[in-house]
Amino acid sequence: MDITRHVISQAPPTIYYVPNFITENEEEYIINKVNNAPKPKWTQLRNRRLQNWGGSPQPSGMIVEDIPQWLQIFLNKVNDLQLYDKGNLKANHVLINEYLPGQGIMPHVDGPLFYPTILTVTCGSHTILNFQKQLKNDEEMVLDDSSKMSLLLERRSLVAVMDSMYTGYLHSIAERNEDKLDNTVLNINKTKFSIGDVLKRDTRISLTIRHVLKTSKIKLNVLFKK
């Protein structure tokens, strides 16, 4: 795949958006595998639940855990794009999030534990991924409304966020049950939808695939092989 054909030219460097990166069968396969993961793999947060595969990233270093073969298939597909240091690095961690309708995530940056490139595959439902810069304020988070932009992440799509879009912008998902598409959606021309459309959310499974920079030489063989 020539990933450069999928750049979002309206955004600062660099965002790629690939519709139908996976097939319907692959989407169903991923959802089934995620839903059938052993209960200890799930971590319940206030507004969503998640799974870590590959290890738990820590400032001191991630103790590497085996990634199951069913998931490694999709890491290989992402690695083929050669976006982690032009292919010199490989993805070694997957964060799987489950978002029910009405759930989201507060504005944040993924930070220095990871190579500054994240790739996310969306399954089960669309969402709107918002980006904004943070104004300098030591007491509270204040977002710069003039910098607001967003992406429509369709089912089975891939988004890659790199460079200044990774380091300079916070990203978030609003807590709502439906999304009305407006002129902040930069990739609308790469989707099957139009400005003004209202999309109802369903349960979304996202695979956020990254390269953790610091890892431990100790390797754990985990028992969760489903």
Reply yes or no on domain 4-126+154-167+200-216 having CATH 2.40.320.10: no
Report d(CA 13, CA 15) in Å as an integer.
Answer: 6
Report d(CA 138, CA 141) in Å as an integer.
Answer: 8
Q: State the pTM of this model.
A: 0.92
pLDDT tens, position by position, 37-50: 999 999 999 889 99
Give the model's pLDDT for residue 144: 78
pLDDT > 50? residue 14: yes
pLDDT tens, position by position, 128-172: 999 999 887 666 778 878 889 999 999 999 999 999 999 999 999
Written as six digits, the tokens of 197 are 């459309």
Q: Where are the beta strands (DSSP E) in the chain?
A: 15-18, 42-44, 49-53, 62-65, 93-99, 105-108, 117-123, 127-135, 142-153, 158-162, 170-173, 178-180, 198-200, 204-210, 215-220
118 Cβ contact list (under 8 Å, min separation 6) = 110, 160, 161, 166, 208, 209, 210
153 Cβ contact list (under 8 Å, min separation 6) = 120, 122, 126, 127, 128, 129, 159
pLDDT > 90? residue 32: yes
Pairing mode of beta strands 215-220, 62-65: parallel
Give the model's pLDDT for residue 220: 52
Helix (H) or strand (E) holding 60: none
* Alpha-carbon distance values, 153 to 100, 124, 191, 197 (Å): 15, 11, 9, 14
Residues listed for the chain: 226
Give the model's pLDDT for residue 225: 43
Phi, psi of 176 (to 5 degrees): -155, 165
Q: Where does the pLDDT of residue 216 fall: very low under 50, low under 70, confident under 90, or very high at 90 and above?
A: confident
Axis crossing angle, helix 69-79 with helix 24-35, rounded to the nearest 10? 140
pLDDT > 80? residue 108: yes
Torsion of CA 23, 123, 71, 208, to 10 degrees: 130
| 3-state SS, residue 182 | coil
Q: What percent of the chain has pLDDT over 90?
A: 85
